[in-house]
Amino acid sequence: MIDRIRGGEEIALDEFTKGLDPISQDIVEYGGLLNYNKARLAGEVSPPALGTRAPSPSQAGSIPPREQDARGPQAGMPALQRSMNIVEKIIARHAFVKAGTIGVESVKPGDALFAVADVRFSHEYVTPMAASLFTQALGTEAKITAPESVFAFRDHLTFLSKVMSPKHREMGLLEKADGLATTQESFSERQGIKLYGENPDGGSEAICHNAVVEDLALPGQIVIGTDSHTCMAGVLGCFAFGVGSTDMANAWYTKDIRIRVPETVKYVLKGKKPGDVTAKDVMLVILASGYMKSSQGIGKVLEFAGEDLINWPMDERATLTNMAVEAGGFTGIIEPDEATLAYIVTMRGLDADEVRKGFVYSDPDAEYAAVFEIDLDEIRPMVALPGDPRNGIPIDALDEEVRIDAAYGGSCTGGKMADMDMYARVLQNALDHGKRVAPGVHLYLQFGSQKIKQYAREKGYIEIFTEAGAELIDPSCGACINAGPGASKTAETVTVSAQNRNFPGRSGPGKLYLASPYVVAASAIAGKIVEPDEFLSNGE
């Protein structure tokens, strides 16, 4: 086709849209997503019907309509009964049919549609770009629709000044990075959206993913954010996933997001995990499976289930959903239960009955792309070798001793309250036996939010961490994206980390091993990667 274009040939538009789904064809023909949605909201064009009708509250497994949704059966559209999993039900509930009508009875994998988002958030790395697209398409006076459900975060580049090289400073990159935050702040103020900014005592108010779980998302919602780890919020039983700047700019305008209904893979966790095994170990086992290593998980939702989950802290469950994207998955999700309800009510003081209205469950006969059973009893402490989170092996299978230069406990994955519990347990045990961080090893512990830091302070962990020899870092993203303390400086640096990814160069040029908070803290004391059992016993 390029040669034909160069030759000056006139080419019909349908040749460019061949093979696209109907919505994509319309988007191309209207000259882009925002132009298409101007026409859609004006009633000039509508997404193709899915052959379903709006749900009724009496339907088995359905959710009563939200007060703000204008619903009702659509004339001439047949009812279509279909068993659905939790993600399909949430999408069906939020599906945009036409102006004033939200929700269809069912959807199936492959369906293309728009769905209304309940929470939309972005961080300073992306907000300015999305803002530019927003104003270019809609004008400088354009206003975000329903700004009370939109949030901005200053969390990704907060500590860049602590690690940026002199060469990059000379290039003016620090000023440019700081300019992103300034632009975001100005846009947030102008649009009337809440900004989680920097904290006067240091760092950010919160990493976006931690705050979304702590403060914002609710069961049954659709949550979108400009970061792949938006999936962490799936721990609350909501459909949460990352989007790009164009999609966010569009969602600011329309309040909805384009979705192609994904397939879902179900992981049933059987038995009970041993005391030295964590959710991180479970995820490293899943990521190292043949299904994931052969890339069959790309674009799929990972749904986690199992009787033992009721015994896991919400923070541990969140590690499962947070890391669902590490092998290319779309997102992760866990059905809400009484522990979910108790967490939300305790953290936010919301009415339990109101929160429960959002609970959604998969039908017993729902369809899945695959179903796997994981025997928790057989899992041992894991480590992912440098280069890929899918390189997980049991620590006792390491070919040789791995001496470390640094240990990092933090990020949205490893900086939660339950993670602080684990670091403290190991380090207190070490102190009780006269041990501290090994000579030559630097242990970094970073909090995921100010709430988590306050929790650690109230539990007396700050003193334990400091006495053991750890460097404490205020809340923010950082080493995980090579933008804060804990990132490696040389290719020879060996780090064991509780973060979620260890792709080459992501956290500096060194070798990065992924492991649980227990393993990170135990390895910092031992000076090498070790199983944590020695540091979890009571010495009896």
DSSP, collapsed to helix, strand or coil, labels residue 342 as: helix
Span 78-92, average pLDDT: 84
Confidence band, pLDDT 50/70/90 cuts, at residue 401? very high
Determine the Cα–Cα distance for residues 326 and 307; give it in Å rounded to an integer. Answer: 25
Distance CA 44, CA 425 (A): 61
pLDDT score of 78 more than 90: no
Strand 119-123 and strand 150-153: pairing? Answer: parallel
Question: What whole-number distance in Å separates Cα of residue 161 and Cα of residue 512?
Answer: 22
- Judge whether residue 101 has pLDDT over 90: no
So what's the pLDDT on residue 375?
97
Does the structure show a pLDDT above 80 at 79?
A: no
The partner residues of 135 in beta bridges, in order of sequence, read none
Q: What is the mean pLDDT of residues 363-373?
A: 96
Rounded Cα distance between 331 and 309, Å, is 18
| For residue 57, pLDDT beyond 70 | no
Q: At what angle do helices 314-322 and 279-287 cross, to 10 degrees?
A: 20
Average pLDDT over residues 280-294: 97
The pTM (predicted TM-score) of the whole model is 0.91
Q: What percent of the chain has pLDDT over 90?
A: 83
pLDDT bucket at 538, cuts 50 / 70 / 90: low
Residue 520 has pLDDT above 80, yes or no: yes
> Does residue 59 register a pLDDT over 70?
no
Q: What is the pLDDT of residues 1-45, one digit of tens each?
A: 899 999 999 999 989 899 888 899 999 999 999 999 999 888 888
Confidence of residue 512 (pLDDT cuts 50, 70, 90): very high
> Per-residue pLDDT for 54 more than 90?
no
**pLDDT > 50? residue 112:** yes
Range 349-367 average pLDDT = 97
pLDDT number for residue 21: 86
Mean pLDDT score across all residues of the chain: 91
Domains along the chain with CATH numbers: 2-116 (no CATH), 119-247 (3.30.499.10), 262-378 (3.40.1060.10), 382-535 (3.30.499.10)
Least confident of 151-160, 233-242, 277-286, 400-409: 151-160
pLDDT above 70 coverage of the chain, percent: 94
Looking at residue 60, its pLDDT comes to 32
Other Cβ atoms within 10 Å of 190 Cβ, number: 13
Which carries the bigger pLDDT value, residue 199 or residue 71? 199
Query: Is 160 or 54 the better-scoring residue by pLDDT?
Result: 160
Classify burial at 382, counting beta carbons within 10 Å of its beta carbon; exposed 0-12, middle 13-18, buried 19 or more: buried
For residue 73, name the pLDDT band (cuts at 50, 70, 90): very low
C-beta neighbour count of 138 within 10 angstroms: 16
Nearest to 401 by CA among 514, 284, 494, 535: 494
Q: Convert the pLDDT of each residue in 444-464 to its tens digit.
A: 999 999 999 999 999 999 999
Write the pLDDT tens digit of every residue in 410-456.
999 999 999 999 999 999 999 999 999 999 999 999 999 999 999 99
Assess contact for 136 and 161: CB atoms under 8 A.
no
Strands (E), 312-419: 331-334, 370-375, 382-384, 392-394, 406-409
Q: Compute φ and ψ for 453, nearest 5 degrees.
A: -65, -45
